[in-house]
Amino acid sequence: MKLKHKDLLGLAHLAPEEIDFMLHTAVPFKKLFTRSIKKVPPLRGKTVAMLFYEPSTRTRTSFELAAARLSADVLSLAVSSSSVQKGETLMDTARNLEAMKIDFIVLRHSVSGAPELLARGVRAHVVNAGDGNHEHPTQGLLDLFTIREKKKKIQGLQVAIIGDILHSRVARSNIWGLTKLGARVRLCGPATLIPAEMKTAFGNNVDVTYNMKDALDGADVAYVLRLQLERQQENLFPSLREYHDFYGLDAKKLSWAKKDCLVMHPGPMNRGVEIDSSVADGPQSVILDQVTNGIAVRMAVLYLLAGSSEGAPPRAARNITGSESSSGRTG
Amino acid sequence: MTKSTAPWARPQKSSETAPRNKPLLIRKGHVIDPRNHVDAVRDVLIQGRHIERVARDIKAPPNAEILDAAHLIVTPGLIDIHVHLREPGQEEKETIATGTAAAAMGGFAAVACMPNTVPPLDNVSQIQFVTMKAESEGYVRVYPVGAISKGQLGKELTEFGAMVRAGCVAISDDGVPVANAKMFRRALEYARTFGLTVIDHCEEPDLAAGGVMNEGRLAAVLGLKGIPRQAEYIMVARDIALCELTGGALHLAHMSTKESVALIRQAKKRGLPVTAETAPHYFTLTEEAVADYNTLAKMNPPLRTAEDRAAVLEGLSDGTIDVIASDHAPHTAAQKSREFDFAPFGIIGLETTLPLVLTELVQKKVLSLSNAIKALTDSPARALNLPGGHLAPGAPADVTLIDLKAKHTAGTFASKSQNSPFIGRTFQGRAAATLVDGDVVMSEGRLLRKPPLMNG
């Protein structure tokens, strides 16, 4: 089997078999990690550019390690978040990278859809490392990998995703991935953080509840999202205390779930806000397994994309280039 | 008909020097003049800058120029009352010259241009700048719309009276609508003094803030911030209430939701002086057009759902929505090829409005040809009290000739910007010629510069 896609932009457009294939491919890569020499040669001579318009430690390090363990050369571009709007345009930056014959661009961007824009304009493989509130497909894959590793299946599981669904690309990728592989997803958080349409927007296997007891009752996985603390200023919830009181995962709330319910978090954690240390560090936590698996999954993604449609021409760029000028709210 | 044989396709040079006082007889066209209830084959005689008469088999006066319009539709010059010409200040997007060229190509003999230029059209000298520039460089008539508030800041009223004297035909804070209800009330009241219509872009700014597409399922999936439909119809309801309070004439721009249509229908039943407009994209497209983050379908108000589109069609068909206007909003390719959140709102429309009306409304039997023409001539003229929009004797000699059969595909545009989601779409029907003041300014896709107006 080969991947049909030049890029990995999201899990929404992948078939269940394709997701399965990626997870399957990650298994042997993970086995490498127990060896003393963790490097294999498949991407020797290839260059992977890390183009991060948002600060990130975990995802970036994970991708860098994944690329390095596949013997690719890694180029890290630190683009300050202030230059997203003011500096060189995304497409100009990408064209410059392409002129340097880069093979992969791993993009982290604050605007939903930025990887699609990039993928339309360049020949290089584009891997979405998180775009706005849209998707974070490799996070979704590594979460699926972790759940399957521990539970031996995805089909039929009850997964509670707790927190700021509205602003979460992790939630969206997980919802797509989990429902495509046959799990049932329960979204839980204050109503201000769950768009009313979420229940229907992702098919029939999603439920929405504002009550943690309902969300966790009989759950196989409790997936806690990171709470962006600045959301409080937008009046999406009144205080961290109230948030923690109702939605912070602690031992008591976790006891409502199945005894072997996994505790997951994409990191970095706000201990004492969305998750208590007692569960984050407890026996049900697989949070550090997620980190390890992230590298294996990202190796699989880079490896499979390299073998997909190498040298394929970019999908026609819809927009034409031109000189840059400010874009006001006009018209 | 082919380009080379079009009988009125005078070479540009001779048109520039052609005597203006030669009578012009448009023969054997199917004349549709909704205001005067004409819908039949007629001849149209033009003397100087005015319509002389419309009748069967008019005998050509000596030295008259003849336009053979057999098999063509002859209508009053189309009027687009919602256009952004971007001059002054954003000439990289459009100028009065290029914007009016696009208008002429699209069959429009007149456009009303919105005041959100840089700086905005909020005083006499800005209005004068536009009218003078339009007279010297424009292909079609330009009616400036003045700002409601100084700097479009929603705080202090502009000098409506002085702007009217300078040629302003209506007022609006389009693009940056007046949030304060008391301020909008004052605008409606004070506008009555001068018989001005207030045009509102209905958008509750706090609800809409930061939004880039219609709020709903698709926005939830795409992770884009939504603009709820309520942001529009809350303001429609507010404006209608204030219209009732003040009796001031209100025109609601680019309506996009089914609730707005229902509110307007109700207001009209109560006899309020309300008119409403929609744009071709709202009756043609839905939010699905942005599903792949296509910035060419990013506009404000955003494209809505199939249900809204159906309600807009129904509003057009029962006359709740009076006017079709393009909301022509040019932006450069560089600006539109940015990330979705950073790309500006708006699409061009002057050259696709008539083809979309003919293809999506007339051929699909939403509107009769006569009612479709009415929404592009009589109704916009009435909404803003403009002189044209009909062909009675003495009316301005603005005429549009329409070829209903011509099949064509949208490719490149005369507009300086090319930001259209309709590129590649095939249409049936388009303007064959545009006449302004008795001069042919466009014929078979070719622009003919009109001579500068002598006395304004």
DSSP string for A104-142: EEEEEESSTTHHHHHHHH-SSEEEEEEETTTB-HHHHHH
* C-beta of residue B284 within 8 angstroms of C-beta of residue B267: no
DSSP string covering B8-60:
T---HHHHHH--TTS-EEEEEEEEEEGGGTEEEEEEEEEETTEEEEEESSPPP
List CB contacts of B134: < 8 A, sequence separation 6 or more.
B96, B100, B141, B142
Task: Give, for B190, the enclosing helix (H) or strand (E).
Answer: helix B181-192
Q: Please compute the mean of the pLDDT values over residues B45-73 and round it to a whole number.
A: 96
For residue A325, name the pLDDT band (cuts at 50, 70, 90).
very low
The pTM of this model reads 0.91
Per-residue pLDDT band at B22 (split at 50, 70, 90)? confident
pLDDT for the residue A192: 96
CB atoms within 10 A of CB B307: 11
Tell me the pLDDT tens digit for each residue of A77-98: 877 766 676 778 999 998 899 9
| B344/A324 touch (CB, cutoff 8 Å), yes or no | no
Cβ pair A201:B220 closer than 8 A: yes
Within 8 A by CB and 6+ apart from B238, the residues are B181, B184
Query: CB–CB of A201 and B221 under 8 A?
Result: yes
Structure tokens at B182: 């008391």
What are the beta bridge partners of residue A125?
A104
Burial of B41 (0-12, 13-18, 19+ CB in 10 A): middle
Identify the pLDDT of residue A133: 96
Query: Taking residues A12-40, what's their average pLDDT?
Result: 95
Q: Which of A112, A128, A192 to mutate to test the interface with B (most CBs of B within 10 A)?
A: A112
User: Per residue in A125-148, pLDDT tens?
Assistant: 999 999 999 999 999 999 999 999
- Which distant-in-sequence residues (6+ apart) come within 8 Å of A86 by Cβ? none
Distance CA B84, CA A331 (A): 7
Question: Would you name the residues of B annotated as active-site residues?
Answer: 327
Determine, for residues A331 and B331 on separate chains, whether the beta-carbon distance falls below 8 Å: yes
A325 vs B295, B335, B341: nearest CB: B335
Residue B132: its H or E element: helix B124-137
Looking at CA atoms only, how far is residue B331 from chain A in angstroms? 9
**Has residue A191 got a pLDDT over 70?**
yes
Cβ A107 vs Cβ A50: under 8 Å: no
Percent of chain B with pLDDT over 90: 92
State chain A's mean pLDDT as an integer: 91
ipTM: 0.89
User: CB under 8 Å to A166, separation ≥6 — which residues?
Assistant: A133, A192, A193, A194, A195, A236
Per-residue pLDDT tens over the stretch B324-362: 999 999 999 999 999 999 999 999 999 999 999 999 999
Q: What is the pLDDT of residue B450?
A: 57
State which H helix or E strand residue A76 sits in: strand A73-78
A214 burial via Cβ count (<10 Å: 0-12, 13-18, 19+): middle
Identify which of B176, B296, B340 has the shortest CB distance to residue A112.
Answer: B340
Is A114's CB within 8 Å of B92's CB? Answer: no
Q: How far B140 CA lies from chain A's nearest CA (Å)? A: 21
Residue of B90, B213, B335, B339 to mutate, interface with A, max A Cβ within 10 Å: B339
Chain A neighbors of B337, CB-CB under 8 A: 89, 91, 117, 317-322
Reported as a single tens digit per residue, the pLDDT across A234-251 is 889 999 999 999 999 999
CA distance A196 to chain B (A): 8
Q: Which domains does chain B have, with CATH numbers?
A: 24-75+396-447 (2.30.40.10), 77-383 (3.20.20.140)
Nearest-CA distance A193 → chain B (Å)? 11
Provide the pLDDT confidence category of residue A232 given band limits of 50, 70 and 90: confident
Helix (H, G, I), strand (E, B), or coil: what is residue B109?
strand
